Amino acid sequence: MDVLLLSRVQFAVATYFHFLFVPLTLGLSFLIAIIETLYIRTRDEDYLAMARFWGRLFVINFVVGVVTGLPLEFQFGTNWTRYSAYVGDIFGPLLAIEATAAFFLESTFLAVWVFGWKKLSPRMHAAVMWMIACASTLSALWILIANSWMQHPVGYVIRNGRAEITDFLSVVTQGYAVLTFLHTVAAAYVLAGFFVMGISAYHILKGRNVFIKSFRLALYFSLIFSIFVVAEGHMHGADLAEKQPAKLAALESLWETQTYAPLYLFVIPSMDNDGNLVELVPIPGVMSLLAHHNPAAEVTGLNDFPADELPPVAIVFYAFRVMVMLGGLFVLLTLYGWLRRDRLAQSPRFLKLLVYTIPLPYVLCAAGWTVTEMGRQPWIVYGLMKTADAVSPVAPHQVAFSLAAFVVVYSLVAVAGFLTMIRHACQWPEHTAAATEEVKRR
């Protein structure tokens, strides 16, 4: 194996693992902040118990998310030196801003929230969680701005043999970044919503009806965002027609450039990246309609790109299908849940289904990132630098060792983290209730 492949696999391992924990941090922080605010408003002790129950899970998830993210910032330097030197002028400041403007805030105040139950008034304690929630979303914003620049580079000029920034504002405010941010964050909120619904369902099935409150809250939360993410995802897809036409064509494995481009209901792309083995049931014009909002519009097919500038179509195609189908499923589940919102305790089969649904949004997020990142290949910065030209001149055995270490360490950390979370998630222990009593008396 060569350094390029090893480095790509290593980066993929690190990011997939990291993103197992990021979405829950993004979403659950807001849900806990809302729960704490409801406690202040209503003085209903159930909400206080809820905040402490979900807070426990949040903290474990947060810590594992932080530590699995740490190597990502350094990997650009260790494994992608040519990339770092070539685009560091734009990419570097974005990462530095993320650290100073957002990451400091969430990491510092998490401790205040965790250790401050007795030292802070309920109002201040809730305010701290709001701050953590906003800071983590801000953190996501800067990282996604950086990622969007790799997808659609703007505001730069090639000078001194590298990309140099000329227009910071256009980098920060470009449409691609806005769409990516909304899409990613909304998907993260869906994940957090289903996480809370699933665990609440488990407890409602055990007769702990206090969890109906967190279930309903999470239901409304995920209903809103699962519809939003689908609608916004459509706009994101249409945006690709202009900015990343090869990725768009790969989503549907469309090879011929054509007007009235059809959407095939059943396609099997060839694994040789040169066409489709099977194309069945075309619906004319739908692809044109989705991409350009006009059934007559011309959609560029993959055959119009040089063979060495094609993404691995089959991977992108299947990952896109997983993402879209799961996205649709979540809309249906939350709509059904909304209809049953007043009879939850009488819907055991639905509740049971939701317990088993918890892993699916994780799959959705991984599939979404696969579409985004594999769809950009063979470019590391779309149209500007190829991934193959970005890799470090390090020895293959170094990367092989570090990759093996990544797989082992990250697996252990993820298993330890998830096992601890599962243990807490299944307990509605007396001591949570007892500790709640204690906080109330302060």
- The reply on whether position 199 binds other proteins by CB under 8 A is no
* H or E segment to which residue 79 belongs: helix 45-79
- The reply on whether position 52 binds other proteins by CB under 8 A is yes
* Sequence-ordered list of residues with C-beta below 8 angstroms from that of 354, at least 6 positions apart, any chain: 194, 197, 198, 201, 333, 337
- Beta pairing partners, 157: 164
- On whether the CB atoms of residues 436 and 52 are closer than 8 A, the answer is yes
- Stretch of residues binding other proteins (CB under 8 A), selected from 22-30, 94-102, 184-192, 249-257: 94-102
- The span from the CA of 114 to the CA of 132, in Å, is 12
Name the residue nearer to other proteins (CB basis): 118 or 349.
118
Q: Which of residues 107-146 bind other proteins (CB under 8 A)?
A: 107-112, 114-119
Contact string (CB under 8 A) for other proteins, positions 365-394, x = contact? ---------------------------xxx
Among the listed residues 29, 34, 402, 425, the single contact to other proteins using CB under 8 A = 402
- On whether the CB atoms of residues 422 and 38 are closer than 8 A, the answer is no
Q: Which of residues 157-176 bind other proteins (CB under 8 A)?
A: 159-160, 164-166, 168
- The reply on whether position 298 binds other proteins by CB under 8 A is no
Beta strands in 18-173 (DSSP E): 156-159, 162-165
The DSSP bridge pattern shows strands 298-299 and 276-283 to be: unpaired
Among the listed residues 93, 275, 284, 312, the single contact to other proteins using CB under 8 A = 93
- The reply on whether position 330 binds other proteins by CB under 8 A is no
- The span from the CA of 384 to the CA of 58, in Å, is 39
- The span from the CA of 225 to the CA of 188, in Å, is 9
How many amino acids of this chain bind other proteins (CB under 8 A)? 76
Contact string (CB under 8 A) for other proteins, positions 141-160, x = contact? ------------------xx
Name the residue nearer to other proteins (CB basis): 104 or 356.
104
Among the listed residues 64, 188, 299, 313, the single contact to other proteins using CB under 8 A = 64
Name the residue nearer to other proteins (CB basis): 107 or 257.
107
DSSP 309: G
* H or E segment to which residue 404 belongs: helix 396-426
